[in-house]
A and B are shown apart, each in its own frame.
Chain A
Amino acid sequence: MRTEIHISALRKQYGAVTALDGLDLDVGEGELFGLLGPNGAGKTTTVGILTTRVRATSGEAIVAGKNVITEPVAARAQIGVVPQQPNPDLQLTVRENLVFHATYHGIPRAEASRRADALLERLGIADKGGAKAQTLSGGQKQRMMIARALTHEPRVLFLDEPTVGLDPQGRHGVWEILNDLRKQGRTIVMTTHYMEEADQLCDRVAIMDKGKLLALDRPAALRAQAPGETIIDVTLDRPFDGELPALNGITRAEVRGPVLRAYAPSPATGIPAILGFAESRGYTVRDIHLSRPSLETLFISLTGRKLA
């Protein structure tokens, strides 16, 4: 696989704040690559540098063969950007947004119109072509932003938190589009703080926190690195009172009011053990919830913090 994005020792300092602290990263051609991390992890700064809108303090970043720091103009010709905050041209219609965007990239008007129509069709908003952007729903607006970013057929597409603020339907719509784009072999870099999103969509995921890369692999491989225990939360009818003894099939357990949280190597032995114990003490179990080893549990084990 050819390297489409190469980042080495990339740093960004905003005054006393270090937003990026020596990031090294390679993204292959045709990959759907996820940058995962909480707010302030440095994801948006990374995308900002790769899309020439943020000046790196030091380090190197190459996108589609162009050095974004020394040849930003050439780099911009190769990239499409869907920003965190949709920023359509509000004075123009949806279709005009696409057509003008293409002409800003030097594409002749007739060809720009043809591409705009094809993209509106492909992204399922052909009926909205004549509408003003602010009349669109969140999901439609995001489709429009993706369509616009594709009109000049960039080699690399960047999406910063593409599903934030969308309802489940809108979110799945965007996922479908991204899956389609991946199948066509376009290199895609997206940031997200949704575990599920990174897990389901991305070929590889970089977990970032405080401007540093913590882990980088395929989602399945990352999940395998997560602490191997299932978390069993058992909700009782009243707060638990007393000490928890050692139980067979449970590595450790803690009391959180009426909730008993047990860490078990296997749910098959852990669940009967914790349920049996609660009932033996005269409690009624109201609810039981399992958390499988996931990117979320990995993130907690890497940083000690929850993701969002």
Chain B
Amino acid sequence: MTARILGSLLLRDAVVARRDIVGIMIRTMLQPLLFTFVFGKLLISMGMFPKAYATMIIPGIAGLSLTTSAIWAVAMPLIADFGFTKEIEDRLLAPVPIEVIAIEKLFAGILQGAMTAMVVLPLARLIIGPIPGLTLQKLPLLVLMIVLSGGVFSALGLFLGTAMQPQHISLMMQIIFAPMIMFGCTYYPWRGLDHFPVLKYLVLINPLVYVSEGLRAALTPTVPHMPMPVIFAALIAITSLLLWLGMRGFRKRSIS
């Protein structure tokens, strides 16, 4: 019964996402693709960046769109639902533990993130042209990384979605997302921070670092990256912490 109800909750989100497909694509893909075009194509063609830069940024681009997509899919509806529309109240009355409603949101975030990655990767490859070192040989690792990345950012979305008020959305973008993206090892490898030792270890609180590095290991294994056990351990630890915070927030907002 719970599985069937979970299925209908997911179907509802799928129907809603399909109706907003253009908006979702613009919100999650436009910026990464523009970045791909400028840094992966224009600047390389101008000779300002070496050709190898394309190899280095493609996993970062995939990671960035995937995580943006997952976080938007979870946080924004929750902020609106708990803040003013109260639409979610109907689902909170479903005969399942209310945690199931939160878990469904996480699934929706992971799915949306995975779909975004599957669209952005080929498009980026199309924009840049052949990318030396890009491989799909490590497909199981790639799938695992996509799921883990979607998971950690859906959990972040759950936490932010239950902790933030609607009027704080733009502030959240500036304070959380801007530094997270800039210091997320999306546009450079973590190893590249060797010259900035303080920054190198400070960025380790940023889950995007492990997403970028893990996707690097999966997509462009020739680029230096963190060891996989470290990536897995960090992603699991951060996801657990965010899940705990997010579930606590969800319960608090659902039952007074």
Contact = CB atoms under 8 A, between A and B. Distances in A.
Nearest to B97: A73
B138 interface: no
Interface in B1-37: 1, 4-5, 8-9, 11-12, 15-16, 19-20
16 contacts: A48-B256, A51-B93, A52-B255, A53-B255, A53-B256, A73-B95, A76-B93, A87-B87, A87-B89, A89-B12, A90-B85, A103-B5, A104-B8, A104-B91, A104-B94, A106-B5
Contacts of A91: 15-16, 19-20, 87
Interface of A: 14, 48, 51-55, 73-74, 76-77, 79, 81, 83, 85, 87-92, 96-97, 100-101, 103-106, 109, 148
Nearest to A48: B256
Contacts, number: 73
A73 B202 CA distance: 44
B256 A105 contact: no
Most buried by A among B85, B91, B94, B255: B94
B254 A53 contact: yes
Q: How large is the interface on B (under 10, 10 to 19, 20 to 34, 35 or more residues)?
A: 20 to 34
B16 A106 contact: no
Contacts of A109: 8
B92 A53 contact: yes
A78 B170 CA distance: 41
Interface of B: 1, 4-5, 8-9, 11-12, 15-16, 19-20, 85-87, 89-97, 254-256
Contacts of B1: 106
Contacts of A105: 5, 94-95
Contact of A76 (B8, B16, B86, B95): B95
A77 B95 contact: yes
Contacts of A92: 12, 15-16
Contacts of A106: 1, 4-5, 95
Contacts of B9: 104
Contact of A74 (B4, B86, B93, B95): B95
B96 A83 contact: no
B253 to A, nearest CB: 11
Given A55-B255, A73-B95, A73-B96, A148 B16 contact: no
